[in-house]
Chain A
Amino acid sequence: MSATVSYLPAGLPSPVPEADGLDAPYWEGTRRGELRVQRCRACQGWQWGPEWICHRCLAFDLAWTAVAPHGRIYSWERAWHPVHPALRGHGPYLVVLVELPHAGGVRMVGNLLGDPMQTVDIGAAVEAVFEPHDEATPPFTLVQWRRTP
């Protein structure tokens, strides 16, 4: 196991599953290098973020389905002002919203790896990079994105 190389400095809030367990399968999946979203067993519709009911057919029967970890940039921002103590002195960083056309167009938030001053093109193809934080308590894995070569 390699040491954690994270895009942002340590000290930001760690993601933990909700107390009612709704999103636990997502976070368990990222630990294994799987990108999972909800898919309704009744109507086959995709859904993200997670909810207890399918918004299309109102079935309480949602599966957690692994999807191919690639997509395209739907929107983006370059953050400069450090709103958290962990970000002070760090400099700008990129946040992207990635659309997954093969999973009903659901969108995922992550960072765009690489030069924070790179030109970002809406519509550009990206692929997921799993970023483990093994030393955190509890450990977690983030889903980051990079331009598809």
Chain B
Amino acid sequence: MSAAPTIRGRVAIAGIGETDYYKHGQAPESEMTLALRAILRACEDAGVDPRAVDGFASYSNDRNDPSRLAAALGLPELRFSNMQWGGGGGGGSAAVGNAAAAIAAGYADCVVVFRALAQGQFQRFGAAPPATTASGEAALTFPYGLISPAQRFAMRVMRFMHDHGIRPEAPRAIALASYHHAQANPRAVMHGRPLTPEAYDASRWIVEPFRLFDCCLENDGAAALLLVAAERARDLRSRPAYLLGVAQGSEYRNAARGHNAPTYASASFTTVAPRLYAMAGLASKDIDVVQSYENFTGGVLMSLVEHDFFAADEANDFLSLDNLTAPGGRLPLNTSGGNLAECYMHGLELQIEAVRQLRGESASQVPGARTAMVISGPMVTPVSSMILGGEGML
């Protein structure tokens, strides 16, 4: 009989690619062009002929269909195409897991995970869709002015903060860490625009408990990862980042309509995170750096609790700028600036930053980082998270 089913160490991210990042609506090229450029850069980074790509995986209903991409790129054969169900950034790590599973299973050999956004060319996330009626889940919320993602998640965070006595300084530290790291990252949209605690405190409410700086950006751009089998990755141009673990899902009845999830004050990782650690054979103390999807800072806070970095009742003490920043913090967080201050590439820029950390190439490098976690899409369902490691972790 074979060993316990796992893809630990069997697949690696061999190439990373991204476009320049733009404010939403300001991309000078079509969304499809952005996607193609990111994919070609990931191939170039790995030193892989683009015609060797034989699969695609994405999430959040990316508009750039794999068959069209394969035709546009002149691929000899498309062997795997996969869309992770669910909205927001919850599928970012799951898409990597799906691609890795395809490689491990032999469905395909060289799979690209990508996400492209040019919101100016389409509907914007943070604004209400232009409909005069609402049905289903939306009928229970839209007529009450509960419409946008920020409004959808604020009550989860409000309840969590109430239950655990979380002070405003805790989510503030998460925002400050992202802006701090963005100042070292020339790619970041907020490079050159530092954030002070005073500016945070003076910023306007979007929806309590979220101020302006608790909310992600909305950007245009594209990002791509190229995955191959681990043994093949060792022969390629860039240092491989091995997938040590990945998990997706959500807890019991998370999607019960009208805000009826039994585990309401949650980032949706209470069952996912233990499975992630079990697959990787690691614990939170083994993680050197974390990239945690910020739709809203309160979601990051709950994600870190659910991944066992600190207890909810310790959040006020743990979440300080010193603890969250590279190189010396206890838990360096969102070291590129993340969704708040680098770019909102629906979180896939977080996977790229995790790879950079393991290569030793981050603008805010954690010295000797051997493991990097990515947490994708708090408070939606399904969510996902993953752990990457360098050669020494195999």
Chain A contact residues, CB within 8 Å of chain B: 8, 12-19, 23, 27, 48-51, 55, 74-81, 83-85, 87, 92-93, 95, 97, 106-111, 122, 140, 142
Closest Cβ of chain B to A48, distance in Å, is 6
Closest to B206 in A: A81
Closest Cβ of chain B to A75, distance in Å, is 4
| Complex interface: chain B residues within 8 A of A140 (CB) | 143
| Complex interface: chain B residues within 8 A of A51 (CB) | 257
Out of B132, B134, B155, name the residue touching A75 (CB < 8 Å). B155
| Complex interface: chain A residues within 8 A of B122 (CB) | none
Of B134, B205, B259, the most chain A CB neighbours within 10 A belong to B259
Please tell me if B162 contacts chain A, counting CB pairs below 8 Å. Answer: yes
| Complex interface: chain B residues within 8 A of A14 (CB) | 132-134, 143
Report if A81-B207 is in contact (Cβ < 8 Å); known contacts: A15-B133, A76-B155: yes
B142 in contact with A16 (CB, 8 Å): no
| Complex interface: chain B residues within 8 A of A19 (CB) | 135
A-B CB proximity, top 9 nearest = A49-B257, A15-B139, A13-B134, A77-B154, A49-B258, A75-B159, A75-B155, A84-B128, A80-B205
**A/B interface sample: 16 pairs, CB < 8 A:** A8-B144, A8-B145, A13-B128, A13-B143, A14-B133, A49-B140, A49-B258, A50-B257, A55-B256, A80-B207, A80-B208, A81-B150, A84-B147, A85-B128, A107-B259, A109-B259
Out of A77, A84, A107, name the residue touching B258 (CB < 8 Å). A107
Give the distance in Å from the alpha carbon of A111 to the alpha carbon of B264 in the complex: 19
B144 in contact with A95 (CB, 8 Å): yes
| Complex interface: chain A residues within 8 A of B145 (CB) | 8, 12, 79, 84, 87, 93, 95, 111
Closest to B210 in A: A77
| Complex interface: chain B residues within 8 A of A95 (CB) | 144-146, 151, 155
Out of B132, B142, B150, B259, name the residue touching A97 (CB < 8 Å). B259
Please tell me if B136 contacts chain A, counting CB pairs below 8 Å. Answer: yes
Closest Cβ of chain B to A38, distance in Å, is 11
| Complex interface: chain A residues within 8 A of B208 (CB) | 77-80
| Complex interface: chain A residues within 8 A of B265 (CB) | 75
| Complex interface: chain A residues within 8 A of B156 (CB) | 75
Closest Cβ of chain B to A79, distance in Å, is 4
Closest Cβ of chain B to A140, distance in Å, is 8
| Complex interface: chain B residues within 8 A of A84 (CB) | 127-128, 145, 147
| Complex interface: chain B residues within 8 A of A48 (CB) | 256-258, 260
Give the distance in Å from the alpha carbon of A16 to the alpha carbon of B135 in the complex: 5
Give the distance in Å from the alpha carbon of A85 to the alpha carbon of B154 in the complex: 21
Please tell me if B126 contacts chain A, counting CB pairs below 8 Å. Answer: yes
B144 in contact with A110 (CB, 8 Å): yes
Closest Cβ of chain A to B291, distance in Å, is 27
B258 in contact with A109 (CB, 8 Å): yes
Closest Cβ of chain A to B143, distance in Å, is 5
B264 in contact with A75 (CB, 8 Å): yes
Closest Cβ of chain B to A8, distance in Å, is 5
- B residues 226-263 near A (Cβ < 8 Å) are 253, 256-260
Report if A76-B158 is in contact (Cβ < 8 Å); known contacts: A19-B135, A95-B145: yes
Give the distance in Å from the alpha carbon of A27 to the alpha carbon of B135 in the complex: 11
B144 in contact with A142 (CB, 8 Å): yes
Closest Cβ of chain A to B202, distance in Å, is 14
Closest to A84 in B: B128
